[in-house]
Amino acid sequence: MTLTPLDQRYGTAVRRVWASVLGRSGRAWSDLGSWRDADVRRFQRTALPIVLAGQRQVATLTASYLETLYREIADEESRAELDLDRVTGRALRDVDPAEVYRRPFVETWTALSNGEPLDVAIDRGARRLDVITQTDLQLARTHTVREVTAEQPGVTYTVRELQGEYDCALCMIAATQRYHKRDLAPIHPGCDCLVKTVRADYDPGQVIDEERLEAIHDAVEAAIGQFDRGGRAVDYRKIIIAREHGEIGPVLGYRGQRFTGPDDIHLPT
């Protein structure tokens, strides 16, 4: 599948929200001047409304996009009554957002306790904040997709569409698959893939883009010097799977990962 003008307009609008939210929350972090326990609440008072507003914007844009897309693929109207409280804030993780946005401080304090310089520790906290914020914005999208498509009988399944100039291998492989609309699209922290709805007369099966999947396997061979689509010489199950993370739902990761808590989720540095 390719991005249509509708996809591109929607993607551009969502990326603008992301850029605004990440920029403002990042400045709230860097402007603190002090990152002690007493500063946590001060940061939360500034950052949480910014993030929540961004989630609501993403949810609203996504609902509008899905309604327009439904008219195109099903030739009928879709007017889902979206309850924003079900797709934003605490509903995304079932954890108090104040607790979630305390974690960048914990990251900073942990780095300091390990002997890192203050500037390095603060930067690690900032990166943790970015990952958390990006994840929350994407969760607002995926939760909205689930809520809206539940009211769209013409939608058969959903697919992931890559948007970035550069995309990680996890998303590239996932984009060759189809997902049942009742399920949350698996994500990884920071994932910004577009979720598209599809109407079909039949279920094509899990893999919908064999050619792309083969190209990714070829890239694996080029990178590590071997391949085996039968999973013997190279166990492709270790390259990408979808696992349930107790807080944010399905997460793209590697076999062997065990998500025992939110601190286990990190982007490579």
**Would you say residue 245 has pLDDT above 90?**
no
Instruction: Give yes or no for a contact between 7 and 159, defined as CB atoms under 8 angstroms apart.
Output: no
Q: Which carries the bigger pLDDT value, residue 87 or residue 179? A: 87
Rounded to an integer, the average pLDDT of 2-27 is 93
For 221-250, what is the mean pLDDT?
64
Give the pLDDT mean for 102-127.
Answer: 98
pLDDT for 247 equals 82
The pLDDT score that the predictor gives to residue 265 is 46
229-258 CB burial, b ≥16 within 10 A, e <16: eeeeebebeebbbbeebebbbbbbbeeeee
**Above 50 in pLDDT, residue 146?**
yes
Residue 103 pLDDT level (bands cut at 50, 70, 90):
very high
Q: Residue 218: what pLDDT?
A: 79
Average pLDDT, rounded, for the chain: 84
Distances (CA, A) of 251 to 41, 171, 226, 248: 29, 11, 27, 8
DSSP single-letter state for residue 39: G
Task: Give me the residue spans of the domains in the chain.
Answer: 5-208+239-264
Residue listed under structure tokens 């009742």: 182
* Cβ neighbour number for residue 137 with a 10 Å cutoff: 25
**Confidence band, pLDDT 50/70/90 cuts, at residue 198:** confident
Q: Are 79 and 67 in contact (CB under 8 A)?
A: yes
Residue 184 and residue 142 in contact, taking contact as beta carbons nearer than 8 Å: yes
Q: What is the pLDDT of residues 200-212, one digit of tens each?
A: 877 788 888 888 8
Give the dihedral of Cα atoms 198, 202, 207, 211; nearest 10 deg: -80
| Dist. CA 57–CA 73, nearest whole Å | 24
Task: Write the single-letter amino acid at 81.
Answer: E
